[in-house]
A and B are shown apart, each in its own frame.
Chain A
Amino acid sequence: MIRQGHELDRDQRESADVCVVGSGCGGASLAAVLAEQGRSVVLVEQGGYYTKDDFDQRELNMLAKIDGGRGLHASDDVSVSLTYGNNVGGASVHYWADSYRTPPDRLLEWRDVFGILGHSEEALAPHFAEIERDLNVHPATDEYANRMNLLVERGARQLGWHVARVPQARKACRGSGHCMQGCSYDAKQSQLVTYIPRAVAAGARLYSDLRAERLEWSGRKASALVGRVLDRATGRPRGPTLRVEARVFVIAAGGYGTPDFLLRQGLKAQLPELGEHLFVNPCPMVHAIFEEDVIQWRNIPAAWGVEEFRLARYQGARRVFGRPSQSRYLEGGYLFMPNQLQPGLLGAVLPGIGRAHAELMRQLPKLGGTICWIDDVEPGRIRIDGGRRRIEMPLTGGNGERLRDAWKKQAQLLLAVGAKQVLFGDAQDTRIERAEQIEAAVRQLSIRPARNVLGAPHPGGGARMGASPRDSVVDHEHRVHGFDNLFVADPSVFPSPPSVDPSLTILAFSRVAAAAVAARTS
């Protein structure tokens, strides 16, 4: 059963074994697993319920439907643009379908540095296998590679960098290039077409357009969740409420939404780490004008990815997220991908205004570019100020070093494969045409607020996992410290960025959480 906000005209009550807040990778998969095990599940989602028939491939229409803040939200100082889902299926509906297992080195780091138990490579392997089967994850094949993808592959090989096919969660992709607007063909295996239908088929009751507002407590236990129905046109409360009584509550509202919700419950005093240690994978883009048409907007965004720089190289010990270090950074600490933007977003991120900008856009077919997901090491923070969510995300320190190296490497590759001109997209509109200009150009790029256009698509860490409430928010079973029946199942629990697209890591972790919830509701 799926009930949308406009279908609710009076207060509702529900009771269930499990109440899940959020329907992205974390919430949907957990709901499906538990429902299929016979648990009664109520799933609430703040965003709207849309299907492929609602995905019209128009950027503004789709930003309004499926993007949090209509794509307009940024960090406090406008250093990074916040990208997150606001719809049934969450960010998996607008993601690129890149689907990596968590690299074993990262799982080891989480165990050895942060003391995470129960999430080893061996423990997660069966979950990954099942998820990959469910989502049809496979390496991108040749027919998926657009010209920009092939240029990245060629450039990486030319430069001696490790490049590999990107694992994709797709079935019979048509190659329209509108992954970020939601798949109009149900080819991308988002939560909307995988675990949501399975959860509903197994009896889960899903409420969309419903904002979870407050938990009611009975000692150390949450007893009920109260949410308000939103008007989809304005995003404002419409009047009716939903009250869900449950044995267990799972918060899976995403890397921004989960810390936000828990902070609004007044839990910061008991859990001082709540909202701290935020990472977002800031992503610097570099654009290029080629002699040939590259048509970056068609086919899949990333068939080939450069993995050479996933792990940072240091002189001395490796730098760990959120911890000071005396080691000297050399290079890397990011995944490097071809970029894909439709003309509205591309126009917004290209430098300049007026006629000069229009002349740049006139060359759209020849405009290509790349993007790096920076594995941030300097933690940000989420707080609630006057009722408003505030995001602090530093670009200084280790994050700044990685940004500069990512700009350099992107320019290097783009020039190596024949770019006539490389544009860094900064507020000063820095452009170069020759490789020997890279060092000087990147050195003068400012990392002061708003000087560059950086997305922040993969938030996490704001309710991180650990052994003690002194340095974490949830335990190894995803249970919030100090509460018997409150869990978190989304990237908020990661102690640092997973160094690859987080979707599969979220899904696998969510199954670990599901097992713990199942044990409490048997």
Chain B
Amino acid sequence: MVLALGGLGLRWLGSGYLLRAGEVALGLSVKQLCVARALVEALAPGGDGFPGGAELGLVQRIDEEVWAADEGMAGDLRSALELLEHVPPLLGHMGRFSALSVAARGDVFERMLRSRRDLFVQVAIGLKQLVQICYYADARVWPAIGYDGPWIKEAKPPASALAYQKLVGERGGRG
């Protein structure tokens, strides 16, 4: 009975997560990718001249970073997303992070950054930096911030990006 309930609980923890059209999860699990998407929507919502992080494909970019990271780093990032998903009840919001409104997700994240618990701050800072570097390094954001961009006109992606894009393409994703 206990095992059965435990099994149901685990299924609940991992249920309700669906990839959107064009998304492929190579570094993250489907659940983790959905949490990453919710995070991107909260941290880089766009508007008023800024493109939204989701429309830039930032979620796939984060999946690429995890896919290309060494085992230890990738494990840390996956664990951080898992913690984020289930932390809201400890910070005044009932429900999973990915199920909250964008405003509530922002509030949860701000509370993590200002928390007295080291673990919450460590997770929040790590994820914040990952999302924001990917967002502001994207050329489509530069017009909104007055950045005139590199002098070298042609981008030369690293071997990891080329390999990742190939895999995503093979799985029907947009990359």
**Chain A residues within CB distance 8 Å of chain B:** 48, 53-61, 64-65, 69-74, 77-78, 174, 176, 178, 184, 232-235, 297, 342-350, 353-355, 357-358, 361-362, 364-365, 388, 427-428, 448-451, 453
| A61–B128 touching, CB < 8 Å | no
A428 CA / B125 CA spacing, docked (Å): 11
- Residues of chain A within 8 A (CB-CB) of B12 are none
User: What is the CB-to-nearest-CB distance from B134 to chain A, in angstroms, rounded to a whole number?
Assistant: 7
| A56–B133 touching, CB < 8 Å | no
| B42–A344 touching, CB < 8 Å | no
List 6 other contacts, CB 8 Å, given A233-B162, A427-B125.
Answer: A61-B158, A174-B151, A353-B42, A354-B42, A355-B45, A358-B144
Q: Can you list 5 A-B contacts (CB < 8 A)?
A: A60-B137, A74-B126, A178-B150, A343-B137, A343-B142
In the complex, residue of chain A having the shortest beta-carbon distance to the beta carbon of B118: A449
B113 contacts partner chain A, Cβ-Cβ < 8 Å = yes
| B145–A364 touching, CB < 8 Å | yes
Chain A binder among B14-22, B30-38, B66-74, B82-90: B66-74
| A54–B45 touching, CB < 8 Å | no
A-B complex: 4 closest residue pairs judged by Cβ atoms:
A344-B137, A347-B136, A57-B150, A233-B163
Total A-B residue contacts, Cβ distance less than 8 Å: 159
| B156–A364 touching, CB < 8 Å | no
| B125–A354 touching, CB < 8 Å | no
| B160–A233 touching, CB < 8 Å | yes
| A78–B125 touching, CB < 8 Å | yes
| A59–B159 touching, CB < 8 Å | no
| A348–B72 touching, CB < 8 Å | no
**Chain B residues within CB distance 8 Å of chain A:** 42-45, 47-50, 61, 65, 68-73, 77, 106, 109-110, 113-114, 118, 121-122, 124-126, 128-130, 132-137, 141-142, 144-147, 150-152, 154-164
| A354–B121 touching, CB < 8 Å | no
A58 CA / B147 CA spacing, docked (Å): 13
A113 CA / B118 CA spacing, docked (Å): 37
- Residues of chain A within 8 A (CB-CB) of B44 are 354, 358
- Residues of chain B within 8 A (CB-CB) of A235 are 68, 70, 160
Given contacts A353-B109, A364-B146, contact A54 B156 (CB under 8 A): yes
| A56–B65 touching, CB < 8 Å | no
- Residues of chain A within 8 A (CB-CB) of B161 are 61, 64
- Residues of chain A within 8 A (CB-CB) of B109 are 353
A233 CA / B69 CA spacing, docked (Å): 10
| A64–B158 touching, CB < 8 Å | yes
Partner of B125, one of A72, A232, A350, A450: A450
- Residues of chain B within 8 A (CB-CB) of A297 are 147
A78 CA / B128 CA spacing, docked (Å): 13
Given contacts A69-B69, A70-B65, contact A451 B147 (CB under 8 A): no
| B147–A364 touching, CB < 8 Å | yes
